[in-house]
Amino acid sequence: MEKAKISAIQLFVLMFLFEMGTVLVIGFGLDAKKDAWLAILLGMFGGIIFFFIYSFLFRQYPNLPLTGYARKVFGKYLGWIIGLLYIIYFLYSAIDNIRSFGELLLSSTMPETPLLALIILFVLVICYVLYLGIEVLGRTAEVFIVILILLGLAGNFLVYASGNVDLHNLQPFLENGWKPILTTALLETSNFPFGQMVVFIMLLPYLNRPESVKKVWLSALISSGLVLSYTISLNIAVLGVEEVERSTFPLLSTIGKVNLLEFIQRMDVIVVFTLLITVFFKASIFFYVTLIGIVDLFKLKNYQQIILPVGFILIFGSMVWAPNFAEHIEKGKYFDRYINVYFHIIIPLLMLIVTLIRNRFKKKNRSE
């Protein structure tokens, strides 16, 4: 692994920006209709449960990434296969985020620009930053979180000042009962985006103060969960739940309603810059852990030598993954509901169980 360290603040910022990702702009949790905000909060509590599994594994193997201690837990060969599957999962997630970013730019600001050109430029920028190292990515995140906060405050002010918020659109509470809320929380929001934080198991060995993991992780998880819950509530309050469900990018539609004095309009740039920042860091993190996972599994000298080859895979995968954005969204929903759960909870839970059994046998043998 790279000889680098990141601070607790940098890890918090990376986690927060990661959780925002594409989720801030697209609609999710809408199977719960007007109560989507509550489904997101319940999904956040699912993410907290996941954290305690990840935290236990990190304490057992504080100097190893996930691909490293998978071999410790499951054995050399099975553990290697598990590590390879995680690398494929991380690579797919990077492809998914890059494609979503390209599609938003096409639909909002650059309809005549080839999708391939946007994706190539985006991936090359990510490659350059990652070549400089995880410390540079962490320091860059500290700068951009300030810009993101300012964009968020400006966007909220404009929406409220335009008088477009109607809280009646959020009523009645529990209109369809608890069943759709609990189902959405269990099958969707706990996995996406909160379960995706499993990626940070790969980065925790870089933390300069390992004892701060719990405080940093939970604060990032809870703060991002509250922001996402608030954002979907704002979208529904402005647009109504039916329009939010129809909209590909609800936040873009919400900002599109801004109209102050027939002068301040078309503030889509706020959403575009927001997505640019959040997806850049989310895709960068998925890309980076893919690189260090490959280095760990295949015993390479450093990750810089494979940045461009893996970058070309990202570009190619982003273009061929789906023929259009609608199919891209459908494939993403399928993976979030039926595939990602294995990487977020089932495999880590098996690691936890195997490790507990081994530790118990070790204590028993010592006592004898």
What digits encode the pLDDT tens for the residues 72-112?
Answer: 999 889 999 999 999 999 999 999 999 988 888 887 778 88
pLDDT of residue 311: 95
Task: Give pLDDT, residue 321.
Answer: 83
pLDDT score of 118 more than 70: yes
Q: Is 229 helix (H, G, I), strand (E, B) or coil?
A: helix
pTM of the prediction? Answer: 0.94
Gap between the Cα atoms of 195 and 23, Å rounded = 13
Mean pLDDT value across residues 318-333: 82
Longest CA–CA span in the chain (Å) reads: 82
pLDDT of the residue at 368: 61
Q: Which of 117-121, 127-131, 272-276 has the lowest mean pLDDT?
A: 272-276
Domains, the chain, ranges and CATH?
8-359 (1.20.1740.10)
Q: The tokens 């209709």 sit on which residue? A: 33
Helix (H) or strand (E) holding 103: helix 76-108
Are 256 and 238 within 8 A, CB to CB? no
pLDDT confidence of residue 1:
60
With 80 as the cut, is the pLDDT of residue 201 above it?
A: yes
Are 79 and 65 spatial neighbours (Cβ–Cβ below 8 Å)?
no
- Count, residues in the chain: 368
Residue 323 has pLDDT above 90, yes or no: no
Tokens of 233: 């509530």
For 166, the 3-state DSSP assignment is: coil
CA distances from 365 to 72, 253, 352, 357, 361 (A): 19, 63, 20, 12, 6
Environment class of 232 (CB within 10 Å of its CB; exposed 0-12, middle 13-18, buried 19+): buried
Average pLDDT score over residue span 236-264:
85
Between CA 56 and CA 356 the distance in angstroms is 10
Distance CA 199, CA 225 (A): 17
Give the number of C-alpha atoms closer than 13 A to the C-alpha of residue 269, restricted to the C-beta side: 5
pLDDT at 199 over 90: yes
168-186 pLDDT, tens digit each: 989 888 888 889 999 999 8
Return the structure tokens found at 52.
């305690």
Q: Give percent of the chain with pLDDT exceeding 90.
A: 58
